[in-house]
Structure 1
Amino acid sequence: MMRSLFSAVSGLKAHQTKMDVIGNNIANVNTVAYKSQSVTFGDVYYQTTQVATGPNEASGKGGTNAKQIGLGSTVGAISVDPTAQGASERTDNTWDLMISGDKFFVVSNAGNTYFTRAGDFTTDLDGAIVTQSGANVMGWKADADGNIIKDRVQALYATSPEYTYTAPAATTGVTITGNVDSRETGDIAYTVNFYDSLGNEYQATLNLTYDSKDAAAGTTSYNVVGGSVTMNGQPTELSVSCDSQVVFNTNTGASMVGNAGLALTFTDNSADGSGNIANIGTNNGNTSTINLDASGLTMYAAASNINATMGINGTGAGKAVGKMTSVGVNESGQIVASYSNGDTKKIGQIAVASFTNPSGLEKVGDNLYAATLNSGSFDGIGEDISESSGKITSGYLEMSNVDLADQFTNMITTQRGYQANSRIITVSDTMLEELINLKR
């Protein structure tokens, strides 16, 4: 009689545990990347009142089965699949990241390494990428050339002094295009912009001046006459000149081949050498030169219009100092910074981890998991998600995979199971009461 009481108590405890799990699932229905847990029951120890016997040919008796009385139920397992993909939620926040696939972000909190599917990251005062609870997001840093060094993972930074600027580059070539009016015999002014090696911006004013026609050669020549040179909008004591002429075919107006190989020469006329001539173009001691390609000019009977662009055939344009303007994360988890001078630079890459048995990970709160003896270990280096079928998507979050319909159904069955076990206690108590009343 007493066995049914204790069996029912074990059933109450098991169903209470299941209700606790259901309650936790529903409480986390809107938790980022939360993974629903499930409970399975198992039966427990049996009291054997008669063991099984086999057939006896000598006596002619057949075999009998064992007689066993079960002593209740217990929680067999509380299971979770941390890699079960939840639906995606668009946020348009750069640091909201969603993993597609069976990988985990690697984070470090107070020297301990944890793993998470929740990518609702942010940055702290130092520019470190962190979770909402302050754990550092781990990965690999890039070298000075933007190459990712896949060594042991370390904390990643979106902004820091070493990433704030990119180096400038001196302009080594300038291209001028447009048209020179064949009817014009006066000066045609235009400007040429360029950078020095420190990122200072210069503007040189030049004039294209008609020189002569060579009837025998069928060419028309123009002199390139230098004017003023400014640096960052301020006057300088630099002068500019060009020893070669711009020559056109008199009959067709086309530019002659030699126009592609011109050069501008800059001279520092200051007494103290304050013109920083060594920083401009290609330095030749007291002067510096910048190549000039005028092969794109024409000489037609149309209004003069000369434009100058930095660089020749896509090279040598130079650039100003680049200041970081934005940071983003691509599908490979690479952190890419954009700069005001058009530069882009890889400054790091988010590493991910995978486990032989992800269900063996231990939940430690704050959307974090810890490795256990049954999950497999983390090698300290991590994996590149682009080398698998997964990807990282910026501006999206993985939502909880809790199915409310499933949870409410489980709640009903759990409630009924709990009620049924309580009835066993009630009926057993009534039977005990009847037994006690026999002595009256």
Structure 2
Amino acid sequence: MKGFQTKLDNIGNNIANVNTYGFKKGRVTFQDMMSQTMSNAQGPIQNDAGDENIRGGLNPSQVGLGSQVGSIDTIHTQGNRQTTNRPLDLSLEGDGMFVLAEGGADGINPGDPLTLGSVNTSFTRAGNFYLDSDGAIVNNEGKYLIGEVDGSPGAITIPDEAQSFSIQTDGTVNYVDENGEPEVAGQVRLANFSNPSGLEKLGGNSFQYTENAGEPIDALEDLLVAGQDGTGQMVSGALEMSNVDLAESFTEMITSQRGFQANTKIITTSDEILQELVNLKR
């Protein structure tokens, strides 16, 4: 019953985030617990001469002791793309994650390594970004979008005097200055992990690096250009939606509910049997 309750909690969280940008659904798996052995397996019994079997072998007799939660996985499949026509909305078509960092736009010093072990560095698939008062690109929590700025990792900033800006499929952020000349503010870089399921959810649509996610990223050279080295293309003016399938979630919810109810019925039936045993003595 506890295992089914955990699965229902997970399904409820998936359904609650069906409209969360870049959300990756969870999945609960079960495994059986150690079984109580009533009798061990036996091989065939041979006669004294050892040239023929006088009795065949026997299979083990075991009674299972229940089930337990085996794992709670994060499924990093692609979500559907929703067109918004907003230039700061970015969607990734394929592998890769945006890199976020806390600290002022001037606090991310050029040449400093991006230490993934720090909680100040996180990763996300949610591409709804904004501009702050300094012109830096941030997410809805004020974390800075990290990319290449003048050959070093840093926050990408669009000057106040820029007349317009655009973001290309490779992450290059272009803008037109006050003189009408095209300029480059920087290039959004991506992180890619061999095992994205090894990342930990931090809340706020972001993930934290763990040692089981893959090789650590210690410098700008470890960040990738969108569309290269196995990463997906970056699409401006669109957002990646949640990968939760409502039909699948409702089906699993009903199955889990029935399983929970069946387990409660087992308790009721066992109680009735014990009551019958007590009545035998009367």
Tell whether the 8 Å contact from 2:31 to 2:67 is kept in structure 1 after alignment.
Answer: yes
Query: Matches of 1:103 and 1:423 in 2, distance apart?
Result: 47
Q: What is the Cα deviation at residue 74 of structure 1?
A: 0.8
Point out where structure 1 has 5 or more consecutive residues left out of the alignment.
1-11, 143-148, 165-322
Distance 1:89 1:78 in 2: 28
Aligned runs of 1:32-111 on 2, under 5 Å? 32-58=21-47, 60-82=54-76, 84-109=77-102
Match of 1:383 in 2: 224
Contact kept? 1:371, 1:377, Cα under 8 Å: no
Q: CA deviation at 1:339?
A: 2.2
Other-structure match for 1:118: 126
Distance 2:43 2:102 in 1: 62
- Do the aligned residues in 2 keep the contact of 1:21 with 1:38 (CA within 8 Å)? yes
Deviations 1:12-64 (A, max 9, x none): 11111110011000000100011121221111111112111111212622211
Contact 1:352 / 1:383 at 8 angstroms: preserved in 2?
yes
**What is aligned with 1:305?**
none
Give the percent of matched residue pairs that are identical in Structure 1 and Structure 2.
45
Select the residue among 421, 424, 430 that pairs with 2:266. 424
Does the 8 Å contact 1:353/1:378 carry over to 2?
A: no
Deviation sequence 1:175-230 (CA, Å, 0-9, x none) = xxxxxxxxxxxxxxxxxxxxxxxxxxxxxxxxxxxxxxxxxxxxxxxxxxxxxxxx
Are the equivalent residues in 1 in contact too, given 2:27–2:75 (CA < 8 A)?
no
The aligned amino acid for 1:373 is E
Query: Which residue of 175, 185, 196 corresponds with 1:358?
Result: 196
CA displacement at 1:379 relative to structure 2: 1.5
Q: Comparing both structures, which one devotes a greater share of its residues to strand?
A: 1
What whole-Å deviation, never above 9, does each CA across 1:78-129 have from its counterpart, x for those lacking one?
22222x1111111122211111111000111366211100001112122221
- Residue type at the aligned position of 1:78: I
The whole-number CA distance in structure 1 between the counterparts of 2:154 and 2:225 is 14
Structure 2: how far apart are the matches of 1:386 and 1:80?
Answer: 24
Instruction: Give the residue type in structure 1 aligned to 2:88.
Output: W
Change (3 A) 1:43 1:63: same
Distance 2:271 2:154 in 1: 63
Cα 1:340/1:127, change in 2 over 3 Å:
closer
TM normalised by structure 2 equals 0.87
Displacement, 1:342? 2.6
Q: From 345, 349, 368, give the equivalent of 2:206.
A: 368
Amino acid at match of 2:58: T
Shift of 1:419: 0.7
Cα shift at 1:399: 0.7
* Contact 1:355/1:375, CA 8 A, preserved across alignment: yes
How far residue 158 of structure 1 moved from its aligned partner, in angstroms, is: 2.2
TM-score, normalising length from structure 1?
A: 0.57
Unaligned runs of 5+ in 2: 49-53, 104-117
- Mapping of 1:181-260 within 5 angstroms? none
State which structure, 1 or 2, has the greater radius of gyration over its C-alpha atoms: 1
1:8-47 superposed matches below 5 A: 12-47=1-36
Residues 317-356 of structure 1 show CA distances to partners (whole Å, capped at 9, x for unaligned) of xxxxxx5211221111111111243310111011101111
Does structure 2 retain, via aligned residues, the 8 Å contact 1:118–1:367? yes
- Classify the secondary structure of the residue corresponding to 1:349: strand
State the match for 1:127 in structure 2: 135
Q: Does 1:438 align with 2:280?
A: yes
Aligned to 1:396: 238
Structure 2 residue aligned with 1:155:
155
- Residue 336 of structure 1: aligned partner: 174
Cα deviations across residues 120-142 of structure 1 (Å, max 9, x unaligned)?
Answer: 11121222211111111111103
Q: Deviations over 1:294-335 (max 9, x none)?
A: xxxxxxxxxxxxxxxxxxxxxxxxxxxxx5211221111111
Question: Matches of 1:373 and 1:48 in 2, distance apart?
Answer: 39
CA contact (8 A) 1:127 1:158 kept: yes
Q: Secondary structure at the match of 1:387?
A: coil
